Structure formats: C-alpha cells, structure tokens
Structure 1
Amino acid sequence: MGLKLVKYDKAPESGYLEYINEWEVSGEVIVPMASSRKDANFQELLTRWATDETNEVYKKGFVPSTLYFLVHKKKVLGAIHFRHELNDDLLCRGGHIGYGIRSSERGNGYATKMLTMLLDLVREKGYKKILITCDERNIASAKTIENASGIFCDKTEIEGEITLRYWINLDS
C-alpha cells in the first residue's frame, strides 16, 4: 500500500499544503486542530509543532504532544495528534489522540490504518493504556476506534455535547 506515518518534520511541504488547502476549502472544522496552519508558513508550523512537544505548552494550558501525518508517496492523506498525557479536559473529551482524514480520501480505511500505526508507535514508547474519544454523532470515528480494539467506557456531556470515551489497552 505504501502508506507511511511520519512525524511532522518529515512531512512533505507540498503534500501538507495540498492537504490543508482541501480542509480549508471544505469549511469543515480541521481535525486534528493541531494540523491547521493558522496563517503560518510551513517553517513557522514546524517550529510550532516542535514547541508542542515541549513543556512550554503547559503555560497555555495544553500538554506536550506530537503531530504525525499519514503519507502515500508525497500526498498527505490525514493527520493524527498524540497527546503525551491527559489533563482534566482531555480526560473528559479529547483523550490522547485526535485524528482526521481529508475529505477526498475518506472511506478508504485510512483512519483505521493511521490509528493502528500510531498505537504501534506509542506501544513501543512504553504506553500501556490510551484514551480516545469521539463525538456521539461521529459513527465513522467510533467504528475506527472499535476496529483498533477500543473498549467503550462511558459517555460524558459538556455544554450539551456528548462524547464517547474508549480505552485501548496496549499490553496485549
């Protein structure tokens, strides 16, 4: 299949720009939000994403995280954001992982493949248990999580939004 999960600093700039342009033109909320460009050029994004991996982000109320892209040849198909730890907000909604596939590539199993690849990577880093969540209405995401051995835990409701919470055990 030729799919690779690459850390942000190995993503092809042209592939990223094509990917993010598709998201922006669609008008959809960019998922994961960490992959959005927010009027920054690619070099500025690389710097921001590198900072996101450090303790500097605690000052903004975030946790250290790493952004990865699913790439085929030089085309960026999707992005997945791994949060190294959970704070109170991420424990209720957000979890360790947020991911999204560009609209033109959905329905091809890429989300499941990308999530599985990331879980293999974080298992190698010593993580034993990962929390992953999705909006109650996002049936495709719930199926992706379940396909990756996610075990439904419960639902949380914050400001009328219902979030499904799943745990994935990485010990097995």
Structure 2
Amino acid sequence: MNRLKLVLPTPEYKEELMEYKREFIENEDSMDGTAGLRTAKTFKDWYSVICDNLKEETVRDGLVPSTTYMAISTNDGRLIGMIDIRHRLNDYLLNFGGHIGYSIRKSERKQGYATEMLALGLTECVKLNIKKVLITCDKDNVTSAKTIINNGAKLENEIPEGNGITQRYWITLD
C-alpha cells in the first residue's frame, strides 16, 4: 500500500501534532498510542518525555521504554495517526495495554490506514527484536479488533477491566 510512513516526532512537527491533539479533544476521542500527548501541558514537555522513554536508562518512572511514531501520508505529508511501540511489557501492559497502542484521527478513519500503520509498526517490532507482539483492545471496539486480526493476530483471551472487557491478541513475527 505504501500510503503511510512512520516518522519520529521532532519539533518541526509541533503544529501538526497540536492540531492532531485538538481534533481528538474536539471529538472527545481516545488518543491511544500518543504517549500522553492529550495530557501534556506543552509540546516541549511531551517531546521531552518521548525522548526520555526511548531508552531503558532514561525512561520515566513507572513506564517502559517505548518509541512513538507519527504515521504521515506519503501523498501530502498529513499526520494521519500515531503509534507507540513499547519495547517490553510490565504487569499492567501484559494484561491490558500490550506492546502497541495506536490511533487514527477521526477525519481519516475507514480508509484502511490503521491496518497499514499497524503493519509498519510490526516491522519496527522486528527491528527491536520483539518476536511475539501483544496488542489489546476493548471488546466493544470491533474496528480495532479487525485491524489487529488483519495483521495476523490470534485472540488469546478476554479479561474484565473496569466496566468493560479487554481482548488480548498475539502476533508472532518471523
């Protein structure tokens, strides 16, 4: 497909990232895979966190090392989505969060971007030597489940979480 490329955030993308955040907030939408962009007070604060979280030596307390990418349209350079790849799992991530979180802006949904972005993210997992990737979603989120399954995932189980149920999917990479 090659409609997207994964790009590490840099200060040059500040305006696009802030617009992405605004769209999610206006739509009262969940911002998965953004490494806390929604709650960051400033771009500088958020950027500092994602840079620190790249390495085990500098990861913020309570978090695991992760790499956050922007999914950029190869056609027009628009920020379509974001994906966060956690290099390892802690107890919470093993049960509920998984290795990967992602989101697509509402204005770009239902075009197959999530499936393509997740496939690109799995390529990055191979580079990180993650051979078995856990991806989770709410049982109500049928679209996300389809995206995960379209990338070769197998449902392992479902776990109650709060008022909902989390589905746990595994993808084995070569």
TM-score (norm: length of structure 2): 0.89
Partner of 1:52: 53
**Identical positions, percent:** 39
1:78 to 2:81 alignment: yes
User: Which position in structure 2 is the counterpart of 1:135?
Assistant: 138
CA distance in 1, matches of 2:78, 2:3: 11
Quick one: structure 1 residues 62 and 52, their matched pair in 2 at CA, closer, same or farther if it must change by over 3 Å? same
Q: Structure 1: how far apart are the matches of 2:34 and 2:139?
A: 19
RMSD between aligned residues: 1.9
The equivalent residue for 2:104 is 101
8 Å Cα contact 2:49-2:60 kept in structure 1: no
Which deviations, in whole Å up to 9, do the C-alpha atoms of 1:99-157 show, x marking residues without a partner? 01011111010100000001012213322110000000000000000000011111111
Instruction: Measure the CA separation in 1 of the matches of 2:90 and 2:124.
Output: 22
| TM-score, normalised by the number of residues in structure 1 | 0.90
Is 1:125 equivalent to 2:136 in the alignment? no
Q: Alpha carbons of 1:37 and 1:136: their partners in 2 closer, same or farther (altered >3 Å)?
A: closer
Map of 2:164 onto structure 1 = 161
Structure 2: distance between partners of 1:11 and 1:75: 13
8 Å CA contact retained: 1:12, 1:74: no
Q: Which runs of 5+ in 1 are unaligned?
A: none
Partner of 1:145: 148
What residue number does 2:35 align with? 34
Counterpart of 2:35 in 1: which secondary structure? Answer: helix
Q: Report the 3-state secondary structure (helix = DSSP H, G, I; strand = E; otherwise coil) of the residue aligned with 1:43.
A: helix
Q: Could you say what secondary structure the match of 1:34 adopts?
A: coil
Aligned residues: 170
Q: What is the CA distance between 1:2 and its match in structure 2?
A: 4.3
Residue matched to 2:115: 112
Which deviates further from its counterpart, 36-45 or 150-159? 36-45
Q: Is the 8 A contact 1:19 1:76 kept in 2?
A: yes
- AA of the residue aligned to 1:49: I
| Partners of 1:78 and 1:35 in 2: CA distance | 14
**CA distance in structure 1 between the partners assigned to 2:163 and 2:35 by the alignment:** 24
1:19 counterpart residue number: 20
d(CA) in 1 for partners of 2:81, 2:12: 11
User: Which residue does the alignment assign to 1:92?
Assistant: 95
1:62 positional shift:
1.5
Cα deviations across residues 81-108 of structure 1 (Å, max 9, x unaligned)?
Answer: 1111011111110100000101111101
Cα contact 1:64–1:83 (8 A) shared by 2: yes
1:42-90 CA distances to partner (integer Å, 9 max, x unpaired)?
A: 333221210122334462x211111111012331111101111011111
- Where 1:80 maps in the other structure, the secondary structure is strand
